[in-house]
Structure 1
Amino acid sequence: MATKEYSKDEPAPPRWVFDLHNPPKPASKNAGSVSNPPGYSETSVGKRAGSSKVVPRKAPTTEETDTLKIKKSWEIALAPAKALPMNAIMMYMSGNSLQIFSIMMVFMLFKNPLTGLMQTNEVFRRYETEGNKETMLAVKGCYVLMQLLALGLGVWKVNGMGLLPTTRSDWLAWEGERQPLEKAVFAFR
């Protein structure tokens, strides 16, 4: 870049304008006292930057692609299990009383696994190929199991809140009058 010269008639520009038009000269390689970081080599940088011949990356085989798709699908299948501890702590902390916060938490605890169960095939559709159909059945089964575990956590919370009819007193409307086996008659003397 050529340096720009200013005439005597013009006012002198600020220093930053001068620095912008006149960049500093690059320092020589030996002038710096800072060594290169570990793993850095100037030859590999020069090969990449200066080389005009670029070696194209070979396309992955179908087996490699299927393996990557299976790994990704396993990550998706196990994702609900990774959220279970957080949901359990949140359910424990929200308490067992009927409040808007705990009701919303329980609603979300049921809604997310149910929508996950209904969309199982759509979740794994882009990872399924002809070569990995059998493995994808196991992945889908694991995904369904993880969603059922999340539903089980919701049932546990609803039971803790007292909303499940699990005691005898919850069914008193259908309880009949007990017929005594013996009758006691008081004797008057």
Structure 2
Amino acid sequence: MEQVPSSKPPPPPQWVIDLNSPSRPKPRNTNIANPPGYTEAASAGKRSTTSSKTPARKPPTTAETDTLKLKKSWELALAPAKALPMNAIMMYMSGNSLQIFSIMMVFMLFKNPIQGLLSTNEVFRRFETDGTKKQLWLVKACYVLMNCVALALGVWKINGMGLLPTTRSDWLAWETERVPLERAVFAFN
């Protein structure tokens, strides 16, 4: 005898039914108090996000917005200076020999300030308003100065590695020949 397959699918598991059914209302006769800061929903399905005791925050004025923009721009302008101590320690610790690590460190030490100098106006464009335009030039000057100090650190490092032509060579023909102060005389006994 063969069984005829039923056309009715099996009922879904209980967790699927619980998931799809609306949440049951919580009985109010419990002795457990609500946690601090909890407020009941004003209507079913929606929760109140603001308390009736706290007033809505007023939007900031233009002067307050300009002050905040200037503070943020100063933080951005001083960011290269905050990276200098770490870069200086890393340059000192990497040594003066020509290795891939020290070469890559010097490359990054030059790349980041040069990119910063080339994109100075783009970096501070989001802070420019009619109220901050006059004060922003000082911030930009500080940013340029900090990037130049970072470049000076890179020049110090490549000089320590011996990659700067600081000794006399043919292409420095304008330099006078160095005369030694003493001449060595060999004595034969």
Normalising by the smaller structure, the TM-score range is 0.5 to 0.7
SS in 2 for 1:124: helix
Q: TM-score, normalised by structure 1?
A: 0.67
CA contact (8 A) 2:94 2:101 kept: yes
Corresponding position of 2:140: 140
How big is the alpha-carbon RMSD for the aligned residues of Structure 1 and Structure 2? 3.7
Aligned-partner Cα distance in 2 for 1:11–1:172: 93
For 1:159, what is the secondary structure of its paired residue? helix
> In structure 1, what is the equivalent of residue 5 of structure 2?
none
The residue matched to 1:49 in structure 2 has which SS? Answer: coil
What is the 5 A alignment of 1:68-83? 68-83=68-83
- 1:13-52 matches, cutoff 5 A: 13-22=12-21, 25-28=24-27, 31=30, 33=32, 36-37=35-36, 40=37, 42=39, 49=48
Residue number in structure 2 paired with 1:97? 97
Gaps in structure 2 of 5+ consecutive residues = 1-7
**Number of the residue aligned with 1:171:** 168
Query: So what's the TM-score if we normalise by structure 2?
Result: 0.67
Q: Once the 2 structures are TM-superposed, how far is the Cα of residue 11 of structure 1 from its aligned partner?
A: 4.1
Cα distance, 1:150 vs structure 2: 0.8
* Residue 96 (structure 1) shift: 1.4
Counterpart code for 2:126: R
Q: Does the residue aligned with 2:131 lie in a helix, a strand or coil?
A: helix
Q: Which amino acid aligns with 2:64?
A: E
**CA deviation after TM superposition for structure 1 residue 29, in Å:** 5.2
Q: Amino acid of the residue matched to residue 112 of structure 1? A: N
Corresponding residue SS for 1:36:
coil
1:106 equivalenced with 2:106 (yes/no): yes
- Describe the SS at the equivalent of 1:130: coil
Q: How many residue pairs align between the two structures?
A: 166
Determine which structure has the larger helix proportion and give its number: 1
One-letter amino acid of the structure 2 residue matched with residue 124 of structure 1: F
**Runs (5+) with no aligned partner, structure 1:** 1-8, 185-189
Q: Percent identity?
A: 61
**Aligned AA for 1:171?**
R
Deviation at 1:57, TM superposition (A): 6.4
TM-fit CA distance, 1:125: 2.3
Q: Deviations over 1:109-167 (max 9, x none)?
A: 1121122122222221231223223321221121112112211211221122122344x
Structure 2: distance between partners of 1:86 and 1:115: 19
